[in-house]
Structure 1
Amino acid sequence: MAGLVVNGTQVSYVGQDCREIPEHLGRDYGHFAKRLDLSFNLLRSLEGLSAFGSLEELILDNNLLGNDLVLPGLPRLHTLTLNKNQITDLECLLDHLAEVTPALEYLSLLGNVACPNELVNLEKDEEDYKRYRYFVLHKLPNLKFLDARKVTKQEREEALVRGAFMKVVKLKASSDCGAPSPKSHYTPLPSASRELTSHRGVLGKCHYVYYGKNSEGNRFIRDDQL
């Protein structure tokens, strides 16, 4: 079959644009496969993977897998790569992996929003990535490699002490975000100027402060700009 490569206990089905794992793969090779490569497909689901109960390595790079990713119990799996998918919820994924892949030692999530680095967001930096690593190691303490880096002794120590506090908290978007509250008629003008019939001048002072990731300090408006 075109695209299928079998070499001993290694099964590769790469770049076939399949949206689900073909049934024949599990039926014909699931009972002996130890390494399965399904990269460069269009997978959104891993249904059918339960036939590969002896897997030790699973390659799922460049697919369409998201937060609803579900793996079967894979007690021997030590290597999992999920690079360049659509995973955004890191904690949900890690809790799932801790449950179904107890022997996991190598994990790679590069190219997902859940992995905060410049591959997916230019606003992220090395500090963001460090915090991510501490949180992952807090959840999966047996990892030896994370992404392209070996886990260090210092990282393990940091994860033990601070890892639980490295979770990224996401703000929930409100459906009426930006809509004015019917009970609050906010205006930036002082109350003396709110009457339409009032034409009195109003003098106010503004103090502008810039807050940002790379803060440049306070910025002021000069007198000649007023």
Structure 2
Amino acid sequence: MEESHVNHSALYFEKGQLSYCGQDCRRIPPALQKMYGGKVRCLDLSYNSIETLKGLEQFGRLEELILDNNKLGDAITFPYLSNLRTLSLNNNEIIDLEELVNKICKHFPSLTYLSLLSNKACPNQLSDSDKDDSDYQRYRYFVIHMIPNLRFLDSRRVSSAERKEAAIRGEFMRVRRPPSDVFDAPVVPAPQTRLRPLPVDLGALGKHKGAYGKCNYKYTGKHSEGNRFILNSDL
């Protein structure tokens, strides 16, 4: 679809609510910005192919923004929207949780509801079958710690117990990623050396002694202590 044109049969606007869904748009149509930008409090652009939010700054009165089922990734940029309270980004292509949360904190100071389900940044079985409830709970602690005004995260209200735990442990729940240049560095082959088989000492057979030392590694896998934070009411 030409993004300079608007399919009026798919357009709904009433009492400050604007919906334009399922039109395969890659960006917010300029016609919407021009006609409705200053009037809209709730904007729903779900089920498009949106890759950029250029033009969103025209919707300065926004309180609710729904962008489910689009193609927004880690390069997403937001304008400053002081009144935005609800942001829904379900089923997009967001991977870097910490980067996203930092952008949200900077641009949406009034946000109280956030949903990131079905993004790689949200580690649960909707986005990755290898994740479990303990992974998801650690994610919640981190996001609640970073955005303390949140009242709802994804499909669940933020409980007082979660808020207390997030204040204590949330900072340490962030996902650590290796720098990108680790993967970009060329692989330098080691100098070739001629290998010789070890000599066989028949007299030493059965007399092998192991080497002992201190190990600097600690297992912190998802099946360690995380599961103890799952309450019976969450099962």
Within the candidate set 9, 12, 36, 1:29 is matched to 36
Amino acid at match of 2:37: G
Task: Note if contact 2:134-2:222 (Cα within 8 Å) is conserved in structure 1.
Answer: no
Within the candidate set 106, 109, 114, 1:107 is matched to 114
Within the candidate set 160, 166, 182, 2:190 is matched to 182
Amino acid at match of 2:51: R
- 1:121-160: per-residue Cα shift (whole Å, max 9, x none)? 1111111011000000111000000000000000100110
TM-superposed deviation, 1:180: 7.0
TM superposition outliers: structure 1 runs of 4+ over 6 Å: 201-206
Please name the residue that 1:16 is paired with. 23
Amino acid at match of 2:123: P
Amino acid at match of 1:45: T
Q: How has the CA–CA distance of structure 1 residues 43 and 160 changed in structure 2, closer, same or farther, with 3 Å as cutoff? A: same
Matched length: 202
TM-superposed deviation, 1:200: 4.4
Please name the residue that 1:191 is paired with. none
Q: How has the CA–CA distance of structure 1 residues 214 and 139 changed in structure 2, closer, same or farther, with 3 Å as cutoff? A: closer
Q: How has the CA–CA distance of structure 1 residues 139 and 9 changed in structure 2, closer, same or farther, with 3 Å as cutoff? A: same
3-state DSSP of counterpart to 2:183: coil
1:33-182 maps to which residues of 2 (within 5 A)? 33-172=40-179, 173-175=182-184, 181-182=189-190
Query: Structure 1 length normalisation: TM-score?
Result: 0.81
TM-superposed deviation, 1:56: 0.4
Which of the pair has the greater relative contact order for Cα pairs under 8 Å at 6+ separation?
A: 2
Amino acid at match of 1:78: R
TM-superposed deviation, 1:175: 3.9
Q: Percent of counterpart pairs with the same letter?
A: 47
Task: Note if contact 2:142-2:173 (Cα within 8 Å) is conserved in structure 1.
Answer: yes
TM-superposed deviation, 1:195: 1.4
Q: How has the CA–CA distance of structure 1 residues 183 and 105 changed in structure 2, closer, same or farther, with 3 Å as cutoff? A: same
- RMSD value, Cα: 2.6
Please name the residue that 2:213 is paired with. none
3-state DSSP of counterpart to 1:174: helix
TM-superposed deviation, 1:171: 3.2
